[in-house]
Amino acid sequence: MRHLTAAALLPFLIALAAPALAQTGPRRPQPAGTLPRFFIDAGVGTDVSNDAISYQVAFPLFAETGRIDTSLDPGRRFRIEVGGGMRLWKRVGIALAFVRSRADGTLESDISLPHPFRFDRRQSATGTASASQSTRDLHIQALFSLFTSDVWHVAVSGGPSVSWLDQELSADRLRIEYVFPFEAIAVSERADGRTSGRGDGGHIAVGVTRRLGRRLGLEGRLRWSRTTVALEDRDGHRVTIDTGGPHASAGIRLAF
């Protein structure tokens, strides 16, 4: 909550400083629609929505098949973003953005395992635990300027994305054991690992900048991204997780 409050207050703190910052030099109007020659961005943000993630692992056990169905609620992500770019020609430019995010949520697993001695007699249990998620996203952006005035600038962007994911999966957070005489399953929490992987995807975004002076601006951005990350948990099971989704951010822009 403290992070979200800081994110909400940042634009207002910058706006309070605008009169002084506006004195850094006279504004030089740009041709309509053009991008800044060079710019640097920094901001904070959060998710617009955070959908649950589901996955299933199946594995041979006692000549039958064991199954674990897991639902991950990642929780609300807090994001820190830095980046920069340059104009290539009038309305067209390129940029890079690096986004770091973290969320603390929960997972719930429905466990179904075969009996070790009795064929076709399954044991079932449910386990829940907290689960953290950390991502590092690199967005490679092609920029197109839609509108520029002395005060406002609107641009759209899109391109490929690369994500590095650290995720606590069911195998990282739950210990599953048979209870003698094998008529029940015991599920307990553990906290001694996490699973990491890398994935590729893409993104699209729209950004609006309110100029506060010759070089400084207040920026808001709405981005939708999606990457697919293949993970292998500590038991050797392969899990595929989609990261990203819609998220909003606000921050500052320095233009040169």
Spatial distance between the Cα atoms of 131 and 214, rounded to a whole number of angstroms = 45
Indicate the range of 25-29, 104-108, 120-124, 130-134 predicted with least confidence.
25-29
pLDDT tier at 33 (50, 70, 90 boundaries)? low
Sign of CA dihedral 194, 200, 206, 212: positive
Does residue 162 sit within a domain? yes
Would residue 41 count as lying in a domain? Answer: yes
Are 199 and 229 a contacting pair, CB within 8 Å? yes
**Mean pLDDT computed over every residue of the chain:** 87
Q: What is the pLDDT of residue 132?
A: 93
Please name the residue ranges forming H helices in the chain. 2-21, 170-173
Look at residue 31 in the predicted model and tell me its pLDDT: 52
Dihedral, 191, 45, 160, 231 alpha carbons, nearest 10 = 10
What's the number of domains the chain is made of?
A: 1
Distance CA 10, CA 59 (A): 49
- At residue 144, φ and ψ (nearest 5 deg) are -140, 125
- Asked if the model's pLDDT at residue 160 lies above 80, the reply is yes
- Taking Cα atoms as reference points, which of 161, 170, 179, 177 lies closest to residue 235? 170
Asked if residue 94 is part of any domain, the answer here is yes
The more confidently predicted of residues 27 and 136 is 136
Q: Is 116 left (phi over 0), alpha (psi -120 to 50) or beta?
A: alpha
pTM beyond 0.85: the answer is no
Query: Which residues, in sequence order, are CB contacts of 43 under 8 Å at separation 6+?
Result: 10, 80, 81, 219, 221, 249, 250, 251, 252
User: Do the domain assignments include residue 27?
Assistant: no
pLDDT in tens, 70-81: 999 988 889 999
Residue with tokens 């939708």: 224
Q: Is the previous residue joined to 181 through a cis bond, with omega within 30 degrees of 0?
A: yes
**CATH, residue 82:** 2.40.160.20
Domain limits at 251? 2-21+33-255
Report if residue 28 sits inside a domain.
Answer: no
